[in-house]
Amino acid sequence: MKPFQQRLEQYAALAVEVGVNVQPGQQLCIISPISAAEFVRAAVKRAYEIGAKYVQVDWSDEEVSRSRLELVSEETLSYFPTWLTDSRVKMAEEGTAFLHVVAENPDILQGVDPKRIALSTKAQQTAMQPFRRFTLNNICAWSIVAYPTQPWANKVFPELAENDRVNALWEAFFAAARVNEENPIEHWREHAATLSAKAKWLNEKKYKELKYRAPGTDLTIGLTDGHLWTRAGGTNAAGTAFIPNIPTEEVFTSPHRDKINGTVSSSKPLNYGGKLIENFSFTFKDGRIVDYSAEKEYDTLKQLVETDDGSHYLGEIALVPHRSPISDTNLIFYNTLFDENAACHLAIGFGFPFCIEGGLAMSKEQLGDKGINHSLTHIDFMIGRADLDIDGITEDGTVEPIFRNGNWAV
């Protein structure tokens, strides 16, 4: 096993060289909690070593964020500074790459009114729309990576001695991100090629619908004409390839917002706004969520669904095998970055312009006419499990297996 410090530096290099793929002379913005300072310093160093022009680090702190949620008026919670949006837009216009670091406490907002969280979240989502078009349309490179914290490790490994939990979470992160490989960067490029091959096969099939079956799930999802499957990765406006999520195991597309019918049940908890929603389900009719339930945090789930009209519809369907480096850990990470890549998942909210032919040149209205959903939000939730079967249905009605027992059937 490689020494920890070597793996930490390789993890940072992976984020910089493969995740956002910083180029000589390019600027990089790292958005990170202060608890991940060790990782950020390594990433900054690597970015400068390969020729970055300037690295901006925007620090945050969950305790500071909680103080605002608890103490300001509801009217103030609806405020988000335009100067922050303006600065991000300006950086994006200059070709800056954006690296987001997740280092969280899954329970940080326990006890905070879900309505107050929803007000703040919606204000930020609304204000950030001018910036989000740069990431949603792959104009700039962006990526998300994770850094362990003690509260997070306590949640994932309650059975271990407290002093061993963070190390155990590091090992799980390194395994999921394939950092333990001899050459992680080259291995990732090969992994990306494998996912691209799966997306290519699905694009050649041009399925009209997908049919999902598992205990608690009986769902039919219609696909748009001209839909495109892709892996988690793209090419920015400068022609540079990048991978938005490290780790990633998915191929995905955007469904037709109005052609989803049936019921689907979650397979893992969803951490939304600092609250853990557990054992939840949705019922769809003609694309719209018409009923939902949850054993825990129903009110938080309600706030998510009621964000806007578009949050009553789906914007993404993703195929992820049950057997993968993440799933094989047999862990629930209580974080979408990892849990979504251990299981097939769906997403409430906006769809992706790059998931339909010619979509990057379409207006919001044109995308809507094609069936691509629009919303302020985009939240993934996990539905994959060992007994999930998925069929593809062609234009002539032929039914073909895509997944059997949670894994690729082809």
Tell me, yes or no, whether 105 lies in a domain: yes
Q: Which residues contact 5 (CB under 8 A, 6 or more apart)?
A: none
- pLDDT band at 136, cuts 50/70/90? confident
Structure token pair of residue 293: 């339930």
Indicate if the pLDDT at residue 119 is higher than 80.
yes
Tell me, yes or no, whether 183 lies in a domain: no
pLDDT of residue 181: 87
Q: What are the tens digits of pLDDT across the range 26-44?
A: 999 999 999 999 999 999 9
Q: Label the pairing between strands 314-319 and 251-253.
A: antiparallel
Of residues 208 and 326, more confidence is placed in 208
- pLDDT band at 377, cuts 50/70/90? very high
Structure token pair of residue 181: 């490989």
- CA-to-CA distance for 232 and 243, rounded, in angstroms? 6
Same domain? For 321 and 390 the reply is yes
Residue type, 219: L
Tell me, yes or no, whether 76 lies in a domain: yes
Tell me, yes or no, whether 97 lies in a domain: yes
Residues of the chain above pLDDT 70, percent: 100
- pLDDT band at 205, cuts 50/70/90? very high
Same domain? For 34 and 172 the reply is yes
Tell me, yes or no, whether 19 lies in a domain: yes
Structure token pair of residue 205: 């099939």
The DSSP result for 215-272, as a single string, is TTEEEEEEE-TTB--EES-EE-TTS-EE-SBSS---EEE-EEEEEEEEEEE-SS-EEE
Tell me, yes or no, whether 98 lies in a domain: yes
Q: What are the tens digits of pLDDT across the range 70-90?
A: 999 999 999 999 999 999 999
pLDDT of residue 40: 98
Residue type, 244: P
Same domain? For 276 and 143 the reply is no
Region of residue 92 (left: phi > 0; alpha: psi -120 to 50; beta: else): alpha
> pTM of the entire structure?
0.84
- CA-to-CA distance for 136 and 132, rounded, in angstroms? 6
Indicate if the pLDDT at residue 52 is higher than 90.
yes
- pLDDT band at 25, cuts 50/70/90? very high
Look at the block and give the residue holding tokens 């180029």: 23
Q: Please say whether the beta carbons of 94 and 134 come within 8 A.
A: no
Same domain? For 172 and 206 the reply is no
Same domain? For 147 and 215 the reply is no
Q: What are the tens digits of pLDDT across the range 79-118?
A: 999 999 999 999 999 999 999 999 988 889 989 998 999 9
- CA-to-CA distance for 73 and 383, rounded, in angstroms? 37
Mean pLDDT of the region 13-36: 97
Same domain? For 264 and 337 the reply is yes
Structure token pair of residue 194: 């494998």
Same domain? For 223 and 362 the reply is yes
The neighbour count for residue 283, using CB atoms within 10 Å, is 15
Of residues 322 and 315, more confidence is placed in 315
- CA-to-CA distance for 300 and 305, rounded, in angstroms? 9
pLDDT of residue 274: 74
Mean pLDDT of the region 278-294: 98
Tell me, yes or no, whether 313 lies in a domain: yes
Mean pLDDT of the region 260-281: 92
Secondary structure (3-state) at 361: helix
Positive/negative CA dihedral, 400, 222, 336, 174: positive
- CA-to-CA distance for 156 and 232, rounded, in angstroms? 25
Same domain? For 50 and 124 the reply is yes
Give yes or no for a cis peptide into 247 (omega within 30° of 0): yes
- Find, among 213, 245, 215, 227, the residue nearest to 340 by Cα: 245
Least confident span in 49-53, 242-246, 259-263, 322-326:
322-326
Same domain? For 92 and 37 the reply is yes
Give the DSSP H/E element, type plus range, for residue 18: none
Tally the domains of the chain: 2
Residue type, 297: E
Indicate if the pLDDT at residue 1 is higher than 80.
no
- CA-to-CA distance for 61 and 17, rounded, in angstroms? 26
Q: Please say whether the beta carbons of 366 and 351 come within 8 A.
A: no
Burial (CB < 10 A; 0-12, 13-18, 19+), residue 268, is: buried
Q: Please say whether the beta carbons of 372 and 365 come within 8 A.
A: no
Indicate if the pLDDT at residue 324 is higher than 90.
no
The neighbour count for residue 67, using CB atoms within 10 Å, is 11
Tell me, yes or no, whether 237 lies in a domain: no
Q: Report the chain's terminal Cα–Cα distance, integer Å.
A: 34
pLDDT of residue 401: 98
Q: What are the tens digits of pLDDT across the range 327-368?
A: 888 888 988 888 888 889 999 999 999 999 999 899 999 999
Q: What are the tens digits of pLDDT across the range 229-259?
A: 998 777 888 999 999 989 989 999 999 999 9
387: domain range?
A: 201-229+249-408
Same domain? For 84 and 207 the reply is no
